[in-house]
Chains A and B, each alone.
Chain A
């Protein structure tokens, strides 16, 4: 039996799934061939990992968590009617109202305070003389002095 044939049958040899004469032949080959022996050892170690992984410790609170999840899911099934009304109708309506209130407040803040008289007239008559001295004292009058 050559190395290639051994490689094909090695997993069955390690698992004891092959007839006795063939198993003996493979065992003999492994003694003589270090490469096949190394692969057999590697394969054996890797397959043994399954045994190490078997029966992982289950969480002692498994049942408690399961019940909590079932309860949560049951509440989730009941919830949608109220949840949908809030999510699809009330929430957009609330945000729309807030937006409109915001716009209205903005407009109100932006509007100038209106007194009894026009603001343009007030500026022309009361403010400009103080701000623009040139109008109060024309250049000609200044030079004449």
Chain B
């Protein structure tokens, strides 16, 4: 089934077309949501909302863009709605770790090697990276996530975000600089 047939099927309420759409696009939707939410369970919940919205508002879809562009757009909006509605959620930050845990982590990093300890180091790095990405301005965060987690080109990102390619380029450039600044700050404080 190609995109046109899927859209036509969806407009007629065809379940097979909907299943085809979900099966062929669920990975990119979940991945995008995961890049913004950093939690697989939340990402799947939001991805479900994305497909429900697509099913209900398929009549509004204009055939001048790809389905994936539309899905990315809804996924980004839904993810930010989710973040806004769940602001009370607390993320564990490195600063909350006790001194003894910091010492243990430092010791494990020095030992290196492919051990559970290096998994722990990776987990620590994940937390630091997520905090740094979450602290980015919204547009930079979206552009960075679509570029890094979905490997979208600047042109594809510009379609999703309704911006020019040069604006996307600038957003990603600034996002990387901001990330580097935050990570350097963490490096100086010896977070890991």
Contacts and interface: CB of A to CB of B under 8 A. Distances in A.
Interface residues of B, number: 32
Interface residues of A, number: 29
B184 A7 contact: yes
B135 interface: no
A29 B70 CA distance: 45
A53 B48 CA distance: 20
Instruction: Name which of A15, A43, A66 has the most chain B CB atoms within 10 A of its CB.
Output: A66
Nearest to B19: A63
Interface string A59-70: 100110110011
Nearest to B34: A56
Contacts, number: 74
Report whether over half of chain A's contact residues are helix, strand or loop; otherwise say mixed.
helix
A39 interface: yes
B177 A69 contact: no
Nearest to B149: A54
Contact of B125 (A45, A62, A65): A45
Interface of B: 19, 22-23, 26-27, 30-31, 34-35, 40, 43-44, 47-48, 51-52, 55, 122, 125-126, 128-129, 148-149, 176-177, 179-180, 183-184, 187, 192
24 contacts: A7-B180, A8-B180, A10-B180, A11-B176, A11-B179, A12-B176, A38-B187, A42-B192, A43-B180, A43-B183, A45-B125, A52-B122, A54-B31, A54-B149, A56-B31, A56-B34, A56-B43, A58-B27, A58-B44, A66-B22, A69-B48, A69-B52, A70-B55, A73-B52
